[in-house]
Structure 1
């Protein structure tokens, strides 16, 4: 695994009331990860716009923040995606929108399109803040997939850089793995034994992955393994919500088809109702 997965960070910026909070979040992450920051504005350049950005980011001069502003007119989705590719951005930060009257966040149409099409990792922020909210607990998917080892390793890297104390690895297990119909005490015992065997198997698989991660990222961390029987995407999102995790780390979805849009699963459940900030890793 590359020990520096995010060499460059990008964020789409609009001159809105959220501008300062978004810039502070992106700048802090760039400093933590020692990354170059690209500020992408859909529109024409002007001296006033450049001055506003430099005034806001002045407090990061002491941290040697390396940033570049990209002005490009066009459709927001096309501009952000094309700039991400041109500048070889590794991590793209997008803001989520709060549903009216509900304390629930969902990905707006522009951010959703970018999330589905981007070739880089995505960080969805639900409540950007000028003051830093410490990241203490990270939940990461541990599902059986060729990309999961990379995802878990990256989650430990992020935890190390953000000084998070606790990581929970959630192994989502499909209910159909327990092929016993429970209709009496005997079948209930069989189903319970089968569940315990699956949990032991999954925990063993995750422990093997953790053993490959450099010790500098795993030491002094509280590590919890959490097998959950349920629907992929929905189960881990619900778990992150009830444990009040500060960040949920997921594998990026494989290329989605029309049917995936029709019958949401995995990442689509997360995008519909964000439980917390979400990092989707390519």
Structure 2
């Protein structure tokens, strides 16, 4: 359930679009919206925010603005923790000068330490753009069913009727080196068997999920985790990609998990990372 949403406010060219998207989401979930600006509070910024509020859609619940100095990632994480937020929204600029700033350093730290789910916007719009297709990871992981439950909860509220669950399978799992017609056939059979097994697993995961009248498709992809699903979401022009939150599994992963590294390095679409 989403009752409290925090949106990072940066006075950039995308401010209006990001802010309007956040307000629409807050209205969709009937949630309280809290805007957090990390930086100096000035009269000009206050007036700009007031002007935006007057021109924005009427809010169902209350809006609160928080102004605070400090490290952007730390302030946002601490605020989300203190206020017990359910969703954190960050506007991201794709392939622009500020892209690495928002998506690189800040978003990586936030997705690793955020106490709640994180939504990264790369294509915010002042006018509402319908969400028609959602891609969700179907990894074999103890968090995946919760991610699926969240994805369908969000899809129902957004009116999205089409969801594709993508299971990324490591090519090495085949354990077959293709060098002739015989091994090619063995690899093909192994892929078919593995795909069937994974589809059955995903169906078991879905048994405890309320999918409503959503059209659900499952897709197995053999490739590098993170890169494959990001590429699939881009090719299929998905409106939202939903992923499990990163987990620390080794010393190297304390920097950042490798699967989300591929996605954050080149965001294919808006991304929801479920905690």
Distance of aligned partners of 1:183 and 1:131 in 2 relative to their CA distance in 1, 3 Å threshold: same
Distance 2:148 2:213 in 1: 16
Structure 1: runs of 5+ lacking an equivalent:
none
2:237 matched to which residue of 1?
A: 244
What are the superposed Cα offsets for residues 37-66 of structure 1, whole Å, 9 maximum, x if unpaired?
110112355666445334322355644232
1:260 matched to which residue of 2?
A: 253
Distance of aligned partners of 1:191 and 1:247 in 2 relative to their CA distance in 1, 3 Å threshold: same
Distance 1:108 1:176 in 2: 29
Structure 2: runs of 5+ lacking an equivalent:
none
Q: How many residues are treated as equivalent by the alignment? A: 274
Q: After superposition, where does 1:81-100 map in structure 2 within 5 Å?
A: 81-100=77-96
The answer (yes or no) to whether the contact 1:139–1:167 under 8 Å persists in 2 is yes
2:225 matched to which residue of 1?
A: 232
Q: TM-score, normalised by structure 1?
A: 0.89
Q: After superposition, where does 1:100-139 map in structure 2 within 5 Å?
A: 100=96, 107-139=103-135
Distance 1:127 1:15 in 2: 16
Offset, 1:212: 1.4
| 2:20 corresponds to 1:24 | yes
1:185 matched to which residue of 2?
A: 181
1:278 matched to which residue of 2?
A: 271
Distance of aligned partners of 1:46 and 1:183 in 2 relative to their CA distance in 1, 3 Å threshold: closer
1:144 to 134, 140, 151: 140
2:151 matched to which residue of 1?
A: 155
What are the superposed Cα offsets for residues 139-185 of structure 1, whole Å, 9 maximum, x if unpaired?
00001000000001111111111011210000111111111222222
The answer (yes or no) to whether the contact 2:247–2:257 under 8 Å persists in 1 is no
The answer (yes or no) to whether the contact 1:97–1:108 under 8 Å persists in 2 is no
